[in-house]
Structure formats: structure tokens, C-alpha cells
Copies of this chain bind each other. A is one copy, B any other.
Amino acid sequence: MAYKVSYFNITALGEPLRFLCSYGNLDWEDFRVEYTPGVPSQKWLELKSKMPYGQMPILEHEGKVAHQSVAISRFLAKKVKLVGKDDWENLIIDSTVDTVADFRAKIARYHYETDAAIKESVKGPLFTEQIPYYLKKLDEAAKTNGGFLAINRLTWADLYFVSQWDYLNGMAQIDLFSDYPNLQKVKKNVLAVQNIKTWIEKRPKTII
């Protein structure tokens, strides 16, 4: 195998990598570690100390290891030719991806908070201010770009975003995107790609 992607048996931060490998028909292994919400699995406890920063996803290639979901996604995007045509386009793609990552981090901070009082204090501003703010801006960008998130054609920013669509909704426990028709166009454009369609049909069914 040219590439080995290791992540939990969920979508979340591993799914952008799987979308990109599938899109480009790369020679890749989809290695999954059992995921048990709340309590780390035995297998994960064994593996965690071997991970670069105790986290997944990781990418292995020719005996080397890399971590960080966004960084790996960018690397794979170069391999499958979903990057910009010049440095400025790549800047806009990168800033879009980091914005989607910021958006996800805000929802994740709420979702994974175990202290009920903290969770409650985060909830209000998240749902009434932060989420609508980001979604409006992202929807405007998708409108400007004719159904793509960063620039006016398919890039890895679209795959990065759409691969986490269900995960974001799952964490927020609402349909975040129902009022945002241009973000739905982004989803439609990504899911119209035959290799992505095939991947979604054949990927393991998971809880998230």
C-alpha cells in the first residue's frame, strides 16, 4: 500500500483523508481502531502512546509517519490534484479549510464538554451567535463560487467540508444546513463525484 490512513472507526477527522484517497483512487489502506464513546478502547490505549502527539488520524507512507488532519488532507490533495492553480488560490483554500476547522472546533467544544455547567454556558452563544455567523458567511462564499466553498471549482476544501457534514450535524444534534441552500449545493457537487459516491456506498457503517 502506498498510503495507510489510521483513525477511529468513525467519520469525524479521519473522513476527509478517506474522501481524498477515494477521490484520487490512491493505493491506500483504511485502518480503523474501535471507537467507544466516552471510554477509550483497549486497542486505542495500546496505540495512543505510539502516535506522534497521542492522536489520530495519522498517515503512513514509505516508512514515515505524519499527523494532523488538515496537514495530511493538504498533502493528499496535492497527490489527487484538488489544489489551487497558484499561491493565492491555495491561500484561499487553506483559509477556508481552517475556517471550517474553527467552526467544527466550536461545536466540538460544546459536544465533548463533560461538565454540565460549562456545557450550558457555551450552548447559548454557540447556537444563537457563532453557528449562524459562520454558516451565513460560508453560504455566501459558496454562492459567490457557484456551489463550491473556496474558489469557483472543486477543491479539497469542498471534500474537507462535506466529509464532515454528518459529523457536524451529529455533534450539534440539529440539521445545521437546512436554511443554507448554497452549502447544500456544495454537498451535492461533492456527492456527484462518482468516486465519492462509490466510497460512501462501500464505507463501513459507523455510529458517527
Complex Cα–Cα for A91 and B17 (A): 13
Measured between alpha carbons, how far is A98 from B75 in the docked complex, in Å?
14
Given A67-B95, A95-B68, A99-B68, does the pair A75, B53 have CB atoms closer than 8 Å?
A: no
A32 within 8 A of B: no
A52 neighbours in B (Cβ, 8 Å): 95, 137
CB 8 Å contact bits of A29-62 with B (1 = contact, 0 = none): 0000000000000000000000011100001010
Q: What's the tally of chain A residues with a CB closer than 8 Å to chain B?
A: 34
Q: A67-B95, A68-B99, A95-B66 are in contact. Are A90 and B75 (CB under 8 A)?
A: yes
A74 to B115, CA, bound (A): 37
Given contacts A74-B91, A75-B90, A90-B75, contact A68 B117 (CB under 8 A): no
Q: Is A71 an interface residue (CB 8 A)?
A: yes
A87 touches B95 (CB 8 A): no
Q: Is A153 at the interface (CB under 8 A from chain B)?
A: no
Instruction: Determine how many copies of this chain the complex contains.
Output: 2
B137 close to A98 (CB less than 8 A)? no
- Scan A63-80; emit 1 where CB is below 8 A from any B CB, else 0: 010111011101100110
CB proximity of A176 to chain B, nearest CB, Å: 17
Q: A54-B133, A88-B64, A99-B68 are in contact. Are A94 and B74 (CB under 8 A)?
A: yes
* B64 and A98 contact, CB distance less than 8 A: no
User: Which A residues form the contact surface with B (CB < 8 A)?
Assistant: 52-54, 59, 61, 64, 66-68, 70-72, 74-75, 78-79, 87-88, 90-92, 94-95, 97-99, 105, 115, 117-118, 121, 133-134, 137
